[in-house]
Chains A and B, each alone.
Chain A
Amino acid sequence: MPGVEGFMYPNEVELQWSVLIVLYPFITGLVAGAFILASLERVFHVVTIKPTYRLALLTALSFMLVAPLPLQLHLGHPERSLEMYFTPHSSSAMAMFGFVYLWYLMAVLVTEIWLDYRKDIVEMYHKSTGLLKMIYWLMATGNLNISPRALELDDKIGYTITVIGIPSAFLLHGYVGFIFGSIKANPWWSSPLMPVVFIFSAMVSGVAAVMLLFMAVKKLRKEAIDIHCVDTIAKYLFYLFIVDFSLEMLDLIHRIYEADESFRSLDFMVHSRLFFSQIVLQICLGTLTPILLLGITQLFKIRAGIRKAIYTTSGLLTLMGIFAMRWNVVIGGQLFSKSFLGYTTYKMALVTKEGLLVAIALAILPFIFLTILVKLLPPFGENDAHHAPQPAIGD
């Protein structure tokens, strides 16, 4: 059989989960990571990253809106997807998706963004006319009260929601890791470390994405980049990456040392079908290189211009590495037979429902949402002196 090596159980030859299911944990990871970055400022008072606070929240929301789409497109019967809400199966990790998603989207992200922007929304409502005025009125839910007492209350509730949001972000992505980690039939996935690795890799990808977006948006707007802010983000990215990489290595070393019945099969896969995506893209280019680059910026004094270039390169490599990690988990976990006697191949279609073009469209969609959100809800405080652009330091 073409693409098959050794023996596969006959129903295993075709992969069930495609590139769309690779996108799903990648996107939710960006959401969780971006939110955690935002919460650093709000809850842990890391003041230097304040300029990214609103952008991080809007980024999280943009990606969150797209997160369920790959799953929906993957379903054989998407018209039945709401059954997960109406008749959830309590023993299923996947059944909890809808509730975790709704909780995170509505109770955490939307509420926090709304409370943070309410003053701006009301002000923009007063300034705008026509359709835009109506949109802002709807966004304000008709509540135009921005008295000091009301704003103080908004701030208090917003803080509480951020505090609740941190464990919720962990839950969102930890749950995605658990979906894979709890499948005992698949030794590539089955690991109690999987949710933890997913959480840390989520934070790494989300922080890298916001760092890149912040620099890109500032560049597009021809504004100076607050290098202290980016320095701080890069520092957090570096530390998070070290924890993430340590966890992944712990998992790897444990597998190699334990060398259970699946080891020979998985080892062969890593050295053959997953060599490029795992060893080259994920570990060498997507993990070790950015850690090294970021480490250099922590150890040596480097000019701001070069630092920015290093951060951009590291950020891009990080995102590629985390995407490769998701690919290796999802696709890699289906390339070998549960008999441990054979291997199959993933043939990605181009224009089918789960093909490459759809995946690219879904990857672009959050940026379209983000553009709209940034237009509607300016993240750099154009309407609020409190959020006025900081003068660039060291740039």
Chain B
Amino acid sequence: MNVSRRYFMILVPAAAVAWESVLAGTPEDSPNYKMQDHWWGMLIDTPKCIGCGNCVRACEAENDVPEGFFRTWVERYHVTDENMENPEVISPEGGKHGFPAAKEDEGKYFFVPKMCNHCADSPCTQVCPVGATFVSPDGVVLIDQSYCLGCAYCVQACPYGCRYINPEKHSAEKCTLCYHRITKGLTTACCENCPTGARQLVDLKNPKDPIHAFLKTHSVQVLKPQMATGAKAFYNELDGSVR
């Protein structure tokens, strides 16, 4: 095959980009991963979320999420002077395919990505009758699928609606914080696919993690703080109307 110098100059950068992409999808092995060195959480920078649904689609593809259920979803709030206590909230198909155009009327619109809060004092872990769901030493709430009874008590106990019973596997599922990825040095599928950086995986035990500076300089809140669950999904500039 004759390849001219011009074609060669085009192909090499394209191949480099393609190879970069392949590498990104191949997690490195991390045999030296030490659970006790990490304490994982998630920073959700709500003003940055544009409601594109990339995170929902990425999560679905990465984790084989069954149709009609969600490990992460995006809600759109519409708050006006009249409905502050009962804002209008939508999340069509979990925001997977984006949102309908907002009406140009009074009030404000904003997006709130939701996911498991990986609570340090998680109510779901507390109620599991066999301990199939547990908090790992690195702070991730996980479910042992081979042990779960499928009683759904954890689904009832989660204040954030993050759990579901897989209709085919008949056991509880939820966000694992892409544990199979983060233990290999990668970030979560939702973080990797967020075009605006609205989601950032954070390691609270890593002194070099930018989360420490962020928490000091921003107004950060967790969902339903009155539940005292030790939630580790930190929301920047969370509106008071968010449930």
Is A94 in contact with B164, judged by CB distance below 8 angstroms? no
- Please name all residues of chain B whose beta carbon is closer than 8 Å to the beta carbon of A183 when the two chains form the complex: 123, 127, 156-157
Counting chain A residues whose Cβ lies within 8 A of the other chain, the interface size class is: 35 or more
Pick from A9, A77, A87, A95: contact of B171, CB below 8 A.
A77
- Please name all residues of chain B whose beta carbon is closer than 8 Å to the beta carbon of A76 when the two chains form the complex: 148-152, 165, 169-171
Min CB distance, B42 to chain A, in Å?
17
B125-168: CB near A (< 8 Å → 1, else 0) gives 11111110000000000000001111111011111111111000
What is the CA–CA distance of A83 and B132 in the complex, to the nearest angstrom?
10
Is A89 in contact with B130, judged by CB distance below 8 angstroms? yes
Residue of A9, A97, A182, A264 with most chain B CB atoms under a 10 A cut-off: A9
Q: Is the interface of B mostly helix, strand, loop or mixed?
A: loop
- Please name all residues of chain B whose beta carbon is closer than 8 Å to the beta carbon of A339 when the two chains form the complex: 89, 161, 243
What is the CA–CA distance of A92 and B87 in the complex, to the nearest angstrom?
35
Q: Does B227 contact A (CB under 8 A)?
A: yes
Q: Does B196 contact A (CB under 8 A)?
A: no
Is B227 in contact with A94, judged by CB distance below 8 angstroms? no
What is the CA–CA distance of A339 and B159 in the complex, to the nearest angstrom?
9
A1-36: CB near B (< 8 Å → 1, else 0) gives 000000111111000110000000000000000000
Is A84 in contact with B161, judged by CB distance below 8 angstroms? no
Interface size on B, residues (CB 8 A): 45
Q: Does B90 contact A (CB under 8 A)?
A: yes
Is B227 in contact with A92, judged by CB distance below 8 angstroms? no
Q: Does B181 contact A (CB under 8 A)?
A: no
CB-nearest residue of chain A to B226: A261
Q: Does A249 contact B (CB under 8 A)?
A: no
Is B151 in contact with A11, judged by CB distance below 8 angstroms? no
Q: Is the interface of A mostly helix, strand, loop or mixed?
A: loop
**Which residues of chain A from 325 to 344 have a CB within 8 Å of any chain B CB?**
333-334, 337-341
Pick from B131, B150, B160: contact of A338, CB below 8 A.
B160
Is B149 in contact with A81, judged by CB distance below 8 angstroms? yes
Min CB distance, A176 to chain B, in Å?
13
- Please name all residues of chain A whose beta carbon is closer than 8 Å to the beta carbon of B171 when the two chains form the complex: 76-77
Q: Does B110 contact A (CB under 8 A)?
A: no
Do A88 and B130 contact each other (CB < 8 Å), given the known contacts A7-B90, A11-B164?
A: yes
Pick from A8, A10, A87, A184: contact of B131, CB below 8 A.
A87
Measured CB to CB, the residues of B under 8 A from A are 69-70, 73, 75, 85-91, 93-94, 114, 123, 125-131, 147-153, 155-165, 169-171, 227, 243
A selection of 26 A-B contacts at a CB cut-off of 8 Å is A9-B73, A9-B114, A10-B93, A11-B155, A16-B155, A16-B165, A71-B151, A74-B151, A74-B152, A77-B149, A77-B171, A80-B130, A92-B126, A92-B130, A94-B151, A95-B129, A95-B130, A97-B129, A179-B153, A184-B123, A185-B123, A333-B156, A334-B156, A338-B159, A340-B243, A341-B243
* A11-B161, A80-B148, A93-B127 known, 13 other contacts, Cβ within 8 Å: A10-B69, A11-B70, A11-B155, A11-B163, A16-B152, A16-B156, A74-B151, A77-B148, A91-B126, A92-B126, A92-B129, A92-B153, A94-B127
Q: Closest 9 A-B residue pairs measured CB to CB?
A: A76-B150, A9-B161, A76-B170, A185-B159, A16-B152, A339-B243, A89-B131, A95-B129, A7-B89
